[in-house]
Every structure is written in C-alpha cells, then in structure tokens.
Amino acid sequence: WATDGADADNGINPALSYAWACLWMLREIEASECKWEHIQMDRQRKTVSLMIPISKMDQDAKGIKRTLQCCGENVCSRFCAWNVWLCMVEEFPKRKEKKGYLFTDKFKGKLNKNKMIEAWRKVTRKQVTGHSARRSGAMEHVRRGLQLQELAFLGRWKSAVVLTYANDALQEVPANRNGRNETQMGNGT
C-alpha cells in the first residue's frame, strides 16, 4: 500500500495521507487543512495528538483535539497512529522545519480537494470520495474493538449516523468477541 504512492511528487505519500485521514476519521477538507504544527507527539507514551482546526461539528471554530496511541502489537499495523506518524516524519528527513501543510502539491502548497481525492484513488484503486476515509476509518476502528462512545468522540459525531458505519463493520465481526477469553474457551465454557 505504501509503495503505490512512493513516487508521489507532492510530498507525503498519498497512501500515508489516506491512512492518516482514516485513523482520525477526517473528511478530505479536514485532512487537507492538517499542518505539522497541529500535531503533538509523546515518544515515551507513543501517543500522537491532532488538533483539528476545521471540523463540521465545531461550530465555534475553536478546534478539536484528539489523541491516539500506538497499537501495541509486536509489529505495528498500518492502522497504528504511531506507526503512520513515524512513516510520515520519515518522508521528510531533509526538511529542516516541519511547518505548513502536511499534504502538499509539488510547489509545497495545500492540496486542493480534486488533487487529494485523485491521489487517494490512485493508491486505493477505488472510487473514493472526500468522505471515504472517514467511513473507512470508522469501520476499521469498530472492527478493532473501539467502543461506540469512543468512536463517536474520536470521529466528532453528535448524531446517530455513526451507528450506520458501526452496523456495516459489525456484520463482519463475531458479536461476542469481547465476552470470552482464552481461559474460558480452554475450559469448554
């Protein structure tokens, strides 16, 4: 997935920009507004925080901060916020200052909607829209066991639309996956 966009001439690999948007369940317009200055990381705790300056549900335009941590797996998944963040930082080893927009065109200007979606389509090989990363991210978080109230908070939902995404994702997951552990299963209970 990452090699498909490695030849991008516009800064960060579009596969990473799509993964970033999925992790935070960003609309294209929110992803295109992300700047290096909006991100805080804690190496000791392996957390990444994102200040989302523009969000549909932020009517007062104060910005919204969310934090994600490393997945904790032996080998971080491509859906690990810490892993994706480190990959994005590695894309810019020669850049002295990490300022400005995360996702830029070849002139270091902010990607417009059409360019970002075009880049996402190229790496995903799907007809994605400006909303696709938000939906895909929500479904993946649900598949990984994120509770609905946490999903709604992380995704900045104040309506029940989040239940639609959860319903779609939960159809693929055993309903009792969190109710049993290996000890219970080994005892035949």
Our measurement of the distance from residue 6's CA atom to the centroid of its chain's CA atoms, rounded to an integer in Å, reads 19
CA 36 to CA 47: how far, in whole Å?
A: 15
Q: What is the pLDDT of residues 60-119, one digit of tens each?
A: 667 789 999 999 999 999 899 999 999 888 876 555 567 888 888 777 778 888 888 988
Query: Which of 120, 144, 134 has its CA nearest to residue 165?
Result: 134
pTM of the model: 0.83
Helices (DSSP H) in 76-147: which residue ranges? 81-90, 113-124, 132-143
Burial of 46-58, coded b for 16+ CB within 10 Å and e otherwise, reads bbbebebbebeee
